[in-house]
């Protein structure tokens, strides 16, 4: 409710249909009450919008987490010859669209899947610069 509507409401209260005229003090009191109620209503609406935004953000984060967990379940820890551990796709033939080996650091800390590519005598992640020696 806007302040203009509250003021109009106070005027209507002062000019009741039975001809009763409230004192100026009563009209002012009613206008102040209506003004206060309008401000409280506006604050409540603003707070509600903030809560709805937070709820939407939490729902989106939950969906991202579920997607990550679904995808992460397709990978297994794989120890390379030098003892380094990477994440390797458990069944590559069933998921050809996914990367065969991904960086375990990025997956665990960032919840992102970055492929490992050949680098010197091992594998490297271009996202976090981690290297995994294979020989």
Could you read off the pLDDT of 72-107 as tens digits, one per residue? 999 999 998 888 999 999 998 888 889 999 999 999
Instruction: Give the residue among 33, 106, 121 at the shortest CA–CA distance from 75.
Output: 106
Question: 123 and 91 in one domain?
Answer: yes
> Which of the listed residues 68, 89, 124 is the one where a domain comes to its end?
68
Give the domain extent around 100. 74-133
> Which of the listed residues 68, 84, 103 is the one where a domain comes to its end?
68
Q: For the chain, how many structural domains are there in total? A: 2
**Per-residue pLDDT, 2:** 60
Q: What global pTM score does this model have? A: 0.63
Report angle CA 49, 55, 58 to the nearest 5 degrees. 145
Instruction: Give the residue among 118, 107, 105, 106 at the shortest CA–CA distance from 74.
Output: 107
What spatial distance separates the first Cα and last Cα of the chain, rounded to whole Å?
73
- pLDDT band for 26, please (50, 70, 90 cuts): confident
Question: 84 and 36 in one domain?
Answer: no
Question: 63 and 17 in one domain?
Answer: yes
């Amino acid at each position: 409710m806007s302040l203009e509507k509250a003021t109009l409401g106070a005027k209507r209260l002062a000019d009741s249909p039975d001809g009763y005229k409230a004192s100026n003090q009563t009209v002012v009191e009613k206008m102040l009450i209506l003004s206060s109620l309008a401000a409280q209503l506006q604050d409540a609406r603003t707070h509600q919008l903030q809560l709805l935004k937070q709820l939407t953000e939490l729902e989106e984060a939950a969906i991202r987490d579920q997607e990550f967990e679904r995808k992460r379940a397709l990978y297994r820890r794989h120890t390379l010859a030098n003892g380094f551990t990477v994440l390797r796709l458990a069944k590559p033939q069933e998921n050809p669209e996914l990367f065969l080996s991904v960086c375990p650091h990025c997956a665990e800390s960032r919840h992102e899947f970055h492929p490992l590519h050949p680098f010197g005598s091992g594998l490297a992640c271009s996202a976090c610069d981690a290297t995994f020696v294979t020989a």
